[in-house]
Chain A
Amino acid sequence: MIEATLGRVMQDDRGRLLAALIARTGDFQRAEDALQEAAASALVHWGRAGVPASPTGWLLRAALRKAIDGYRRDTTLSRHRDAIAVLAEEEAADPDPQTIPDDRLRLIFTCCHPALEEKSRIALTLRSLCGLTTAQVAAVFLDAEPTMGQRLSRAKAKIAAARIPFTVPGAEDLPDRLNSVLTVVYLIYTAGYAQGPQIGIDLCTEAIFLARLLLQLAPDQPEVEAALALLLLTQARAAARIGPDGQSLPPIRQDRSLWNRAALDEGLALLDRAISRRAPGPFQLKAAIAALHSADGPPDWPQIAALYARLHDYEPTPVIALNHAVALAESGQLAQALAQVQALGAQLDGYQPFHAARADFLARIGDSASARPEYLRAIALAGSEADRSFLQARLSALK
């Protein structure tokens, strides 16, 4: 009972508590250790004296005391006199977590710093802001728990040693750094979309939580609005993306009565608000493409192709070039689309959608002989039964 209460508090408020502690200790690892120790003593104290009126406040005070103890245990005590004084003052002031400033925005910028490896950014964000345990983060990546533990420790050690700041970047760096944060959120979402809910964690829900948190902490940022819009527009169609026969369905062939209307409307409203700010960015383009796929009637492919062309200016990746080619083909510009995918072969050889698109273009120009091996390659690379089944059906339909 006590454990369940503590578990819930730690899951809901871990990010906020950790951010507050890092802001006060300036040290990721110390903050985490102090919070861990506070949680351990909560189990003992709450068991004896009952759950306090403000469990989060209790944990913050206990963690501040643990941090002071940690500094005192340190052999280089003299260097920490100032830190101890600050913490002691804070602890004596009986801080209320509901009224102290929310430092989670600083925390997320630190966790998603481009000086960290991308996988570590995702892991650190899930651990620190979403409150996942190390075991759960390890499960997300199909890693062993000690391996993930080491990765998280290395990331925190780099933050400390290289002095990655615990701060919201200034105006000059903000667009790039915000993009790094939003990319992490989006990668968490797409991982969840591909895997489905596993081991009791739904990464799609976690990603939407993070996007909403960012919108609350950094309001009026069109890219944040658009990132949340993108997730909601995609999530709105999630229940309809697999047909009754187990095949993946493109939005145009989905049963629209299965779409989540509220999520769709919220996503569209957010996108409108973002675009009205007249500060374009890659997430606005991605969300606009998602919105066009959700429109009534057939998608406006020439418009989608134009948006992909602009997105390619921001992110000149082969995958975006491939999506652009698909939109061109759907707009009737097959020759140009084929030429464009041809040029991507070297970079995307192991990528299922590349072979699926190429097969589709070849089938459309009536070149079944060339389309067949491409379909077989795509089927061999398919990651899910639904994709395999969809591609198999296309292959069988070849003349």
Chain B
Amino acid sequence: MKYMCLIYTDPNVTPPMGDSMNAAYFDLNRRMKEAGVMISGDALQPTRTATSLRKRGDKVETMDGPFAETREHLGGYYVIDCPDLDQALHWAAQIPGAAYGTVEVRPLVVFG
């Protein structure tokens, strides 16, 4: 079962992405790869770089900013492959952002 771990953090309380923070993420990436659970994972640029759009009829409306203005921003994600939720939660708890933000764990839909 694949799970997406969405990492939400408040940029005002989050330590900046310095060397020690990067090292913590690199270390987790390495351990996830060794355990064979890591499918993908990325950090996102800040929400000030976001563009949102919706299409109504033929018209595309483009807006500056994220989908919702919230205190905690979606800052990155992992997609991991685990046998069950307990193991997914076990890995999610090791994401450095979990220590000061919130990590939402969602199973991916299996088609077919």
- By a beta-carbon cutoff of 8 Å, the part of chain A in contact with chain B is 113, 115, 161-165, 167, 169, 173
Contact = CB atoms under 8 A, between A and B. Distances in A.
B85 interface: yes
B43 interface: no
Interface string B65-80: 0000000000000000
Query: Which of B83, B84, B86 has the most C-beta atoms of chain A within 10 angstroms of its own C-beta?
Result: B86
Contacts of A167: 84, 86
Contact of A115 (B1, B85, B90): B85
Nearest to A79: B112
7 contacts: A161-B107, A162-B105, A163-B85, A163-B107, A164-B84, A164-B85, A165-B86
B89 interface: yes
Interface residues of B, number: 10
A276 B6 CA distance: 44
B107 A173 contact: no
Nearest to B89: A115
A165 B90 CA distance: 13
Interface string B3-42: 0000000000000000000000000000000000000000
A144 B69 CA distance: 36
Contacts of B106: 162
A169 B85 contact: no
A19 to B, nearest CB: 17
Contacts of A162: 85, 105-107
A78 B107 CA distance: 23
A397 to B, nearest CB: 49
B89 A163 contact: no
Nearest to B107: A162
A169 B107 contact: no
Contacts of B1: 163
B39 to A, nearest CB: 16
Contacts of B89: 115
Nearest to B109: A161
Contacts of A113: 85
B4 to A, nearest CB: 12
Given A165-B84, A165-B86, 16 more contacts: A113-B85, A115-B85, A161-B107, A162-B106, A162-B107, A163-B1, A163-B84, A163-B85, A163-B107, A164-B85, A164-B86, A165-B83, A167-B84, A167-B86, A173-B86, A173-B90
Nearest to B84: A165
Contacts of A163: 1, 83-85, 107
A161 B107 CA distance: 7
A173 B84 CA distance: 14
B94 to A, nearest CB: 13
Contacts of A173: 86, 90
A165 B85 CA distance: 7
B102 to A, nearest CB: 14
A109 to B, nearest CB: 10
Contacts of B86: 164-165, 167, 169, 173
4 residue pairs, one from A and one from B, having the closest CB atoms: A165-B84, A163-B84, A162-B85, A164-B85
B72 to A, nearest CB: 20
Contacts of B83: 163, 165
A173 B106 CA distance: 21
Nearest to B86: A165
B38 to A, nearest CB: 18
A379 B74 CA distance: 47
A169 B1 CA distance: 19
